[in-house]
Amino acid sequence: MTATLWYGIVGAVLVLMALGGSLLRRLPISSSLLYLLVGIAIGPAGLGLLRLDPLADAGLLERLSEIVVLVSLFTSGLKLRATLRDPIWRIPLRLALISMLLTAGMVALVGVVGLGLSLGAAVLLGGILAPTDPVLASDVQLDRPTDNDRLRFGLTGEAGLNDGTAFPLVMLGLGLLGLHELGTFGWRWLLVDVLWATGAGLAVGWGLGQLIGRLVIYLRRTHSAAVGLDDFLALGLIALAYAVAHLLHGYGFLAVFAAGLALRQIELSANADKPPEVSEVDAGPGSATELATDATHAPAYMAQKVLGFNEQLERIGEVALVVLLGSLLVPLLALVPTAALWFVPVLLLVIRPLAVVLGLLGSQTGRSQRALTAWFGIRGIGSVYYLMYALTHGVTGPLGQQLAALTTVTITVSIVVHGISVTPLMRRYRHKEAATQQAQGVELPS
């Protein structure tokens, strides 16, 4: 009976989201918020169908969140259609490096002074909560390859990059807790966990993305081979980049992001002045094979198909993880110390805005873009992964429970407040953007 009930719940959620997707885009409610409510309803505080313990089930939650983040990072890389020399890249780089480091540092300071955490635990908390989320931030990210708006490009690039660049901070926190070797004066952490792991991850992902992407294009153009099954190509490249990076002690998250970016750069180099979307409908019968093997359209067709598949997979992963998160919420609320009730507002309303303002000093971003960037520092599945990684690598007992409670409550509040505000704020921003472009005589995309 339980299995049958689960089939019914999962089916009902998916069908309702398919039927109500267009309606949700018009309402001040995000899909993540509804998934969260479903998780609460079927969790211990509701029907009691789903009972998870963040410490006992940390291994399972780590693997699930890892898979969802990997798919989302690959998708983020595919969305970023700008040459690597384009100055627009300065925005996500500033956010993913300067702003993220400032966020982690301020969270650590608050953790020591305000929450009474040890230095290692506070640094670990900063590493867990510093990265923004590539999964739950989809509503404020790029929605088409031709979109190079500074706000959306910056938030997409930031979410793709900082899920990897946060790893050294997590390792530093674990090291300060005695759970990871840092080396004398931190030399091993700096050389291995920061420089080597970051460089190796980016190099592996970029190299595999370029190699496999160009090989597929060559086979399709020259031999009409390797056609179809672009979903296998996406999954295979994600898994291969992640595995090779790990074997070389690099960061797999950065490798997967770089692999997606490499595929997009192949398309961009072939179609720099052409629309990247291709339509099978306009091409007529047999168009799929013709477009996939066409000398002109092959790169764009490959990128379009891989991106479309990954976006669908990302949505399924979002449903699963946010529902699980909702089931954890109520039991963990009792573990949140009273003194920490102010922590989430400080993070979202003080630390994130201050870090963004400092990180974007001197950048070519408008006032409204900086304000929205400061507000949409969405926390989500990436933080779930880092939390579970810490729990499976020696953080246990009261400290593990406290970190789990703080992280879960922070993500939940972020889902609620950002989910309610994203539709009206982004609608207002798009209208303002469109009015500005029309006043400047810029042709708007159809």
Distances (CA, A) of 237 to 26, 262, 334: 35, 11, 42
User: What count of Cα atoms within 13 Å lies in the side-chain half-sphere of residue 357?
Assistant: 9
pLDDT attached to residue 115: 93
Here the tokens at position 292 are: 């996939």
Q: What is the pLDDT of residue 319?
A: 87
More confident of the two residues 272 and 420? 420
pTM here is: 0.91
Report whether 406 contacts 110 (CB < 8 A).
no
Assign 3-state DSSP to the chain and report helix, strand, coil percentages, each to 5: 75, 0, 25
Mean pLDDT on 168-197 = 96
CB atoms < 10 A from the CB of 199, how many? Answer: 13
Q: Provide the token pair at 267.
A: 């398309």
Whether the Cβ atoms of residue 126 and residue 169 lie closer than 8 Å to each other: yes
Short-list 349, 358, 389, 320, CA closest to 128: 389
- Rounded CA-CA distance 239/274 in Å is 31
Quick: pLDDT tens for 423-439.
788 888 888 877 766 66
Would you state the pLDDT for residue 281? 46
**In b/e form, how buried is each residue of 110-120, taking b as 16+ CB within 10 angstroms?**
bbbeebebeeb
In terms of Cα–Cα distance, which of 421, 340, 294, 326 is closest to 129? 340
| Mean pLDDT, residues 24-28 | 65
Give dist(CA 378, CA 72) in Å, integer: 14
Q: Report CA 233 to chain centroid distance, whole Å.
A: 20
DSSP character for 378? -
**pLDDT of 371 higher than 80:** yes
How sure is the predictor about 315, in pLDDT bands with cuts at 50, 70 and 90? confident
CB atoms within 10 A of CB 81: 22
pLDDT of residue 280: 56
Burial (Cβ within 10 Å: 0-12, 13-18, ≥19) of residue 338: exposed
> Are 61 and 52 spatial neighbours (Cβ–Cβ below 8 Å)?
yes
Taking residues 334-349, what's their average pLDDT? 87
Answer for the pair 70, 245: CB distance below 8 angstroms, yes or no.
no
Torsion on CA atoms 120, 122, 127, 130, rounded to nearest 10: -170
pLDDT band at 339 (very low <50, low <70, confident <90, very high): confident
pLDDT for 1: 46
pLDDT at 26: 67
pLDDT at 279 over 70: no
Q: Per this entry, what is the length of the chain?
A: 446
Torsion of CA 395, 401, 405, 407, to 10 degrees: 0
Higher pLDDT, 9 or 446: 9
Return the SS3 of 86. coil
Contact 66, 382 (CB under 8 A): no
Are 329 and 408 a contacting pair, CB within 8 Å?
yes
**Residues 70-94: tens digit of each pLDDT:** 999 999 999 999 999 999 999 999 9
**Residue 364, Cβ density class (10 Å: 0-12 exposed, 13-18 middle, ≥19 buried):** exposed
Q: Is residue 111 very low, low, confident or very high in pLDDT (cuts 50, 70, 90)?
A: very high
Is it the case that residue 355 has pLDDT exceeding 70? yes
Q: What is the pLDDT of residue 254?
A: 96
- Note the pLDDT tens digit of each residue in 199-246: 999 999 999 999 999 999 999 988 888 887 888 999 999 999 999 999
Of 338-342, 372-376, 378-382, least confident by mean pLDDT is: 338-342
| Separation in Å, CA 294 to CA 140, 205, 225, 438 | 34, 26, 12, 36
CB contact set of 342 (below 8 Å; sequence gap of 6+) = 114
pLDDT at 32 over 80: yes
Q: How confident is the model at residue 446 (pLDDT cuts 50, 70, 90)?
A: very low
Position 139 pLDDT exceeds 90: no
In sequence order, what DSSP letters do the residues of 226-266 get, joined into one string?
Answer: S-S-HHHHHHHHHHHHHHHHHHTT--HHHHHHHHHHHHHHH
Q: Which helix (H) or strand (E) holds 268?
A: helix 252-270
Alpha helices (H) along 25-131 = 31-42, 58-79, 90-94, 100-113, 119-129
- List the one residue out of 280, 248, 322 whose CA is nearest residue 33: 322
Check whether domain 31-437 has CATH 3.30.750.24, yes or no: no
Helix intervals (H) in 135-196: 150-165, 167-176, 187-188
Half-sphere exposure of 340 (CA within 13 A, CB side): 21
CB half-sphere exposure, 47, CA atoms < 13 A: 12
DSSP 3-state of 374? helix
Average pLDDT value over all residues in the chain: 87
pLDDT tier at 50, thresholds 50, 70, 90: confident
